[in-house]
Chains A and B, each alone.
Chain A
Amino acid sequence: MLTVFRKEVLDNFRDRRALSSALLFGPLFGPVLFAIIVTVVLSQAMSDAERTLTVPVTGAEHAPRLIAFLEREGIDVETGPADLAAARDPVRSGEHAIVLVIGEDYGERFRAGRPARVQVVKDGSAQRTVALAARVEGVLGAYNHQQRVLRLQARGVSPSVLQAVVVDPVDVSTPTGRALLLLGMLTYFLMFSMLMGGLYLAIDTTAGERERGSLEPLLTLPVSRNRLLLGKIGATCVYMLVSLAITLTAFSVSLRFIPLEELGMSTNLGPVVAAAAFLVAAPFVLLGASLMTLVASFTKSYKEAQSYVSVLLLVPTVPILFAALLSIEPSPWMMAVPSLSQHLLVTELMRGESLSPSLTAVSVVSTLAAGALVTWVTSLFYRREGLLG
């Protein structure tokens, strides 16, 4: 068994294609794609907030201080349409997100300490411009507040009398929906590259061996088929573990360069968490390796095995997507589902929470048991003559 194991490790180590797919593209693909996606999402989220906005203002000459305030807040002011009626159409057509109309009596009323009017023309049904309009309104609100405070102070009144109630929201939701989805993606990439790491070996040691004609003489040796199989699955497991370790390291490094905090995500994947994630995800290796070996054993050729096993790579996504979209809390029965349980545990770890020992144990035991079961089924298949194709 050890002999078979050593030989398969060496054989595939020499195969450049197997090696690069197992230990290079697989493990690095995930982190790189993850970094790209997160950066794109981030830059989209930021661009709206940071882009300077140009707002047409009608009657800007009546309120020079308000205009100065707007410009300080990064809003450029241009000369707007003639009057309120003329402002409606460009907003309705989407030419402008928002138009401000300042009345002729603005200055007079402002100086008299009476409410001065600014009309905001916007299209509440246009999704694209709602955020921009809200930003302008927010700046107007801030100016309003500033002036209020100044006026009260000028009259010797504390501004706090205006605040009867302090509304102080405490948000208990940790990561946002978007962050959870990203975390789900991260664990998916972990599982994916782990499986990728063993993909070539699973195929090469079964369908490949049969296609090369080396399986038949192997079966004439005084070694039981179970031992051959265990040696092969063992070698596949080692490649998967190495691939998992490389992926985690790559994630650990790449996450440092992504400003995830700006998305409201607190993701920590330092060396300790990465090591813990490795241990939590490792039990899945046996199940993955034996599943791929089983599927590859059923196929008639290398090509066929490749296509079937590639489809198999998608299987662990299903529970992870399900969990990420519905943002489920871990419960014991979920810990019995391989891949879902690894996803939940790794996510917990990256949120900086500590793992429940019993839930972790359920995950490890159930996943290993599933792996043992599939290995056993594969060994039954290995006893059949159909194996030779």
Chain B
Amino acid sequence: MIEVRDIGKTFGTVQAVESVSFSAADGRITGLLGPNGAGKSTTLRILATVLRPDRGEARIGGHDVRSDALAVRREIGVLPHGAGLYPHLTARENIRYYAELHGMRGAELERRVDAMIGRLGLDDIASRRTKGFSQGQRTRVALARALVHDPSHVLLDEPTNGLDVMATRALRELVRGLREEGRCVLLSSHVMQEVAALCDRIIIVAGGRITAEGTPDELRDHYREHDLEEVFVRAIAERGGDA
């Protein structure tokens, strides 16, 4: 369970997040949808305890991101924007490094690393260095790395960015699998179809604020639009342009 209440964040003179409040339930996929620069990434980075909010409160699994960052970090698995792998390490070493930093050792460590390699279909590339990997391969390794400690909350920043059709489909299946396991999944995207295809609940963000929120059906009803893309455009327009 992720609960966000009125958080705000300013970088110098730029207000990245003005005021954002929402909650994301366990066993659900929640999507943050918005144009580039709307504040999605900043919100995710605050939840990942990389940034501190200037104001407001955010809790993950009941732990405050500001005062109890270490406890929050044990609860979350993060897929950052761009995979952020170590090119000189093999896929397996990349995953093992994170597992070790999560405190796993010995047989349990190897078992978890093997399990992630199997789950993400990395067997044939596990012992290759990640330097020449395709975007899809990189994303899978990064996802394996993010899930290796079996986190109850998963934060995905633009997970399907740069993936081809097949890789996108595989990833969607995987994210749905995470939901079936009862995890709380929060992902960000600027692609309407992406969010519509995956998410149980959509939160539309523009200009650092939430402009609309609901299930895909609720949003269609609210705006009396059949096409979700029209919904998206109108929801953003309410914040004055493409922010």
Contact = CB atoms under 8 A, between A and B. Distances in A.
A15 B78 CA distance: 27
A96 B87 CA distance: 68
Nearest to A385: B51
A222 B87 CA distance: 23
A219 interface: yes
A235 to B, nearest CB: 13
B220 interface: no
A221 B80 CA distance: 12
Given A7-B89, A220-B76, A214 B102 contact: no
B89 A213 contact: no
B54 to A, nearest CB: 11
Given A7-B97, A14-B129, A212 B51 contact: no
Nearest to A11: B88
A129 B97 CA distance: 70
Nearest to B45: A216
Nearest to A219: B50
Contacts of B71: 222
B80 A217 contact: yes
Contacts, number: 74
A11 B73 contact: no
Interface in A1-54: 3-4, 7, 10-12, 14-15
Given A216-B45, A224-B70, A11 B86 contact: yes
A219 B47 CA distance: 12
B97 A3 contact: yes
A250 interface: no
B49 interface: yes
A4 B142 CA distance: 18
A212 B130 CA distance: 13
Interface residues of A, number: 23
A11 B130 CA distance: 12
Interface residues of B, number: 34
A217 B97 contact: no
B103 A212 contact: no
A221 B87 contact: no
A388 interface: yes
B48 interface: yes
B81 interface: yes
A112 interface: no
Contacts of B125: none
A212 B82 CA distance: 9
Contact of B49 (A15, A212, A220): A220
Nearest to B105: A3
B223 interface: no
Contacts of A385: 50-52
Contact of A222 (B50, B73, B93): B73
| Most chain B CB inside 10 Å of its own CB: which residue of A14, A215, A222, A223 | A222
| Most chain B CB inside 10 Å of its own CB: which residue of A14, A213, A221 | A221
B89 A10 contact: yes
Contact of A217 (B51, B52, B84, B93): B84
Nearest to B71: A222
B101 interface: yes
Pairs of residues from A and B, 5 with the lowest C-beta to C-beta distance, nearest first: A14-B88, A213-B84, A214-B84, A222-B73, A3-B100
Given A3-B100, A217-B84, 19 more contacts: A10-B93, A12-B88, A14-B88, A212-B84, A212-B87, A213-B82, A213-B84, A214-B84, A216-B48, A217-B78, A217-B145, A217-B146, A219-B49, A220-B80, A221-B98, A222-B73, A222-B74, A385-B51, A385-B52
